[in-house]
Amino acid sequence: MGPSTDRMLNRVKSVYLFIRNQGTVTTKELVEEFDMTQRTMQRDLNILTYNNLVKSPRRGQWTVTEKKVKVS
């Protein structure tokens, strides 16, 4: 994998861990915390949703799923 892919994977992992530690967060909180555009954050959340790692119980809010994850 290239350096940009590694950077993206690290960013997505950081987003997941932040949501897991905080419980439920809004998209706006994530954008502010990670200092990225709304579009980039939505792309990362789409990756996490596709892999069944996060869900949106209400529009604009995110929480982790019950899926077991080993974080290394």
Domains of the chain, start order: 3-64 (1.10.10.10)
DSSP-assigned letter for residue 31: H
Helices 3-22, 27-34: axis angle to 10 degrees equals: 130
Q: How confident is the model at residue 70 (pLDDT cuts 50, 70, 90)?
A: confident
Cα distance between residue 24 and residue 9, in whole Å? 21
Residue 13, beta-bridge partner list: none
Provide the residue type at 63 as one letter: T
Q: What is the pLDDT of residues 2-51, one digit of tens each?
A: 888 888 899 999 999 999 999 999 999 999 999 999 999 999 999 999 99
pTM: 0.90
